Structure 1
Amino acid sequence: MELLNQKSKSFLVRIFISFLTIITLLSVFNFGLFSFFQQNIKQEIIRSNEHMLKQAAENYNSHFNRLRTVLFQMYHDNTITKFNGQLVSGEKGDANYYLVVDIVRKLRETAGNPLFYLDNLMVLYRSNLFMADKEGSSSEVVLNAQPNFHAPYDLAYWEKEFERPRNYYLHPAQNYPLDNFSKEQKTYIPFSFKLPNVNYELIAMLDADKLNQTLLGDVPFIIQTEEGDNLYRSNSSASIEELPTFAAGESYKLFKNNYFFIHKDSENHLRYVTVVPYANIAAQISKLRVTQIVVLLISIAIALVMSYWFSRRLQSPVKRIIASLQHPEGQHLRMDSSIYEFETISHHIDKLSEERTRIHDELKNSNSLLTNYGYIAKLKSLHVGISELREFAQAEGPFMLVLYQLNARSMERLGEDIKRYIGEYIEIVLSEYGLNAYTFQIENDQIISVVFRQDGTDRLKDALQQVKETLDKDRQTCLIMMAVSSIFERSVELNMAYEQVSGMLKMARPLDETQIIVKQEPVAYFFVFTTEQEQELHAHLHAGNEKMSLHALHRMLEAMERGQATLAQFRHFSEGWASRLEKTLEQSEADIPVRNQVVRLRKQLDFSFTLEEFRHIFDTLIPIYAEWVRRKKEEKDEVIEFVMKTMETQYSEDISLDLIAESLDMSSAYLSVYIKEKTGANFSDHMNRVRIQKAKELLVGSNLSIQHIGEKIGYRNGTSFIRMFKKITGETPGEFRRCQTV
């Protein structure tokens, strides 16, 4: 009976029962959780299809916008426009048809780009009814015989298109033969672009099935206009005979055993529809249920096997521990436990704990050399002899800690002989002033002096002043900062003293001399640009404006100097902007030599210690970056150049984005996005900066009143002008004029 009771309390039985309990609880929880979420699985599948359609619609929208850009650029191609001018102004025989070769080449390159999913790209000239595409050119006589002029989009249709008042237009998809001799057909969506009263138009033949396969796959898919006319139907949607009517705000509907999902594109005035049979959703739910049951059963079986195996593995070392503990000397202290093995282990652990407590008390009462040395070992690895260590460990009483930070003035590290010489000199000077001090060289180019006795404070100050005067002679090679702690009473506080002086070193100022820091003061506030100043600096850097960029950075450095900023704050500010420029060059894949120069200058900031040195770094860094920006901007964009020229010449007039867009025959929304993508700033930002720049020139170069200047540059309200000027420059027009005058 006793043996049976012992077995029931054994470690193996108890832990295996625990595993079985956990497996049972997890199984019940899993069944309950699946039953709870099963009701939501259908909605999750519907939301998944909605998300898939939304993503596909956004991809289609992005692709149509991409094609608009391609058509716009090709439409204004010099060769195409030049040939058009010859057709319009001259006789048919006077046109230079050698230009057609270049036109065909460009059309072939654009149509061959796999990102555009184009089968062909055509330019149709209204005069003479002449057409060029990626395959060559055709005249009026043979145009209707071309595969791409297949009914209903024959020559007569495209002639009428010249009369229709629309620029970009997606025509309903049509099946086209591959050639004049093949019965095989492909589905294309014609995408045309023309400007009013212009002699030619561009027609892109979009491979609809290929694009749909890439963006959506084999899902039944339909594109409609807002009026409900079909623009495109995938092959898998051929069996869909009727679409349901969707109420406002409705994104899906069950209709004739099919789920119809709809997404409306307000920008392109299109509707995207996908169709999922109801049987598919039901099958997914059923499949998920079967899969869950199978996985659960397999998991339970594996868990049972693994539980027994782990139980055996855990029991084996416990049995060995018990065997090793069952032969001690002395009486056993019995401790009750519900598990037999732990009952035995607890008894012997108590004996070991008593022995450990006795040994610990003996070690605590002994004041050994190792105990004293532990306070120093916590700081750093010390370069010191054992005799010096014994003297230091035996010293008692109040003490002060002096930490010397050795800073190399170049990228070459300080030699060990230099650091050793400085440490020996410090020790000699402290000794000459009668101070009971111990000086140690530690890692990271640091030296510490522990000075005992409180009455030596004044003498310590004089000694450190002498050390400063001597070390200043070699400050071009090594610049030293000294931090002096407050008085500590006990040697166990050595760690606290070190933390104090380490924090005081962060208060060092950007000075070209040895510094002695004797008290810890609050660090000055953070020095950062305002949002408007930072935006202005970004704009100058983006424009490659070297002078204005340096002006903004110099102004901040001078403000930091006036505000008593620390060396660490100067370095943090400078490294922050240098790292931004380095990251920009890296992301833009700038030339390796330019990037290497910027990296070298950023690393040189670690060895800059004065305002002049930080200023010199920026005076070298900004011209390098500005030159790179100007080289990058040499590639002209005709649209951006027209917009910027209009703002530069008509800034005093009431110009708007709508007026400029109308001049370019573009929508204002598209032009706004185009300007933002190409320049990184929107139209209003450019307009305000041009006007404020003109205002600066008038404030410095004329005696006009501020009100008159505001009206002259296009601000009809003086208050608006002053507010915008201060937002961009950080100061009012009057303050700016006074500063420039001084």
Structure 2
Amino acid sequence: MNRLIANRGLLQIFFALQLVVGIMFIFNYMVYKNSISGIYEKVTENNRMVIRNIIQSFDASFTSINNLMFNIHALPFNQITNSSGQTDMEKVLSLEDSLARMVSTMDFVENAMITYDYKLVITPKGTSSMEALFDRKYTNLKYNSVFWQNFIRSEHDFTVFPAETYKEIDSSTKRELIVAVDSSRLSMSSKKLMVLIDVNRLLNSIDLKGMIPGASLIVMDGDRNLILSTEKNLDLVDILNDVYFNPSSEGSLKREDFEYNFYKSDYNGFIYINKLPYQFQNIGSVTSANQLIMYGAIVLAGLLSILLSIYLYRPVRNIAQLLGSSNLKGNDFVKIQSGIVKIQRENESLKNQMQLVDAEIQRGVFLQTLEGYSHSREYEIQLQNHYADWFQRRYFMMASVHLTPAAPGGAPELTMEEVTARLREAVTRGLEQAVVFHEDHLKFLLLLSVELPAGRRQLLRTLEMVLKEAERQELQGFRLQGCVSRVYESKIVNCRDAYQEIQAGFEYRDAGGRETLIDAEASFQAAEIHFPLHKIEKLSNCLLAGKQDEAAELVDDVIEEYTERHIQHHQLVHMAKSMMYVMLRQGDVTEGSRYELFRLETEVMRRLQESEHAQSVRETLQEGLRRIGAMRSVDSRSKLDPAFISQYIELHYMENLYLDHMAEVLETSSKYFSNYFKKTFGVNFVEYLNKVRLSHAREYLKHSDLSIAEIGEKTGYTNSSTFTTTFKKYCGVSPSEYRKKAAEQGGEGRAIR
């Protein structure tokens, strides 16, 4: 026992319980000293002061109403009709303006009305009629337009009608209003006045919060007619019969568990009744019982604190050890707190890890469903656990979203998890039934649930707006382009078909288009087939001749032509790869540059395949062209050079070129030149010369009106028969047939549908 008492943990428990006992004693003693009766008397006295202030506030409010009516009577125009008996609208408008200025200073006034003939009613907001006001705007089963017309016509004193609920017939708007009607016996003018008072705003201006909780206030006029009550369904008949009101004094009455205090206003004789609970009988016995409970609780609490200190010591030590604390002496509660904090941190970390693992599992399972392979029964059961998250409606659409840096400098510095989270936030903000998966690099897949296939068009418009909004907010710095599939039934087997459809939609999109959202269903229309063979051949000649700038212009021309023709993107990529292969053939292949050329080929082909638009294809080809041009090592001092030879033939093809002439120009023998040419260019000199000449001849046939003989002469053939024979040998048709066919098709390379 001595060891337990000496232990710090036990003492902590004991003194903690003693602190609780001490606090209980202090508060109980405070309650006892103040006593229930003393508190009640003090509170009721304060309540009387509050009620007097409230009565003064009510008197001030009714004084404002009387002043308002007095000022309205003081306005000019006892009549608003002219000599012919018609309404003078100038007078009406003047009254409206004056009335609006007066009412604007009184927040609790809902409306004020002036009438002369009981039909036309002038309000701060314009003119109306009794029927329009009290049968439509302020409707009440008891007080309708007929009631008010009859009452105003009758002789009456200043009357305040009780608070009633008035409803606007064209809407669900309800107002609790008090209606004050001016006296018809003591009237300063021919105007008939009504003022509508908003009860809620009136009570807010008076502030009833100072009353005792549970108390209520009743307002009655001098004839004991109820005007306003903060307590519903209050029966005051028996109470009023037992009270005699003296204008110079106050009265009170106790009934059941409540006390009723009566006050009479010196201003207008209104009666104010304050209902509040009063103290219980036998307060002395209650005080004695309270003392007994207080002292008994202190004694029992002291005994319990000793027993609980001993009883709780061992569990506290066990908890501290379970939380990883050592057996050394010390503050057990500090050890428990540090252990709990450590567990909370570990739980939070584990929770984040589990969320990440669950997201990756869902992503992996979804991507595997797109492979189309069959899986085991156990795997299929695991898939079904995710169906409810993926397919939330009867039908679905799949969308693919590709992100590309908007600026040439590159994408913003964000991790892939941050990009995914931002895209998911943007999509789910505009589309409730959407699931986002990261596919690869900056490519994402979306599962969009739709109730009916007819809602596809609206969903497309919404998704397009979501992507544009994401470019401006969450994913600023990226350009987003998406492709959406058709509507499929929500079955896992349809995911692969939808995925293949959006993949094809990206490939078959317009090469020159920069639309934010591609409709895969509309992208499979018949498209042009275009392949500019003559320009690709010319590109090869330019590279061979070392004309780097002209080759770059050819690349730009081809890309521009494809974008203007709206050729599909996959055709553009195929054509770009063909151009790249042609350019690679002209690279200077040496032992040192072979590997570099291989790396260039793989890099360019990969970038072309991943290109998102025509501009990226253009930039990739231009970069490949520059690097190939830099790899070519041409000795400009040597005439026996492929570039020089091809350039010379390109410039002099229209002349009478022959083998001996070329050997003479290159300062070598005819035999050596012939062998060198065939080895370098892959064809003999005559065949190469004919291809160059016929390439230019085809251009003349398509774009000029020259005769066949004139074209043959311009391209280096001495007579038309030789030109015709050679043209038919290489092109398969005669020059005239080629010209006719080119005219029908609009030129070589025209679309074939």
Superposition TM-score, scaled by structure 2 size: 0.38
Instruction: Return the index of the structure with the highest Cα Rg.
Output: 2
TM-score w.r.t. length of structure 1: 0.38
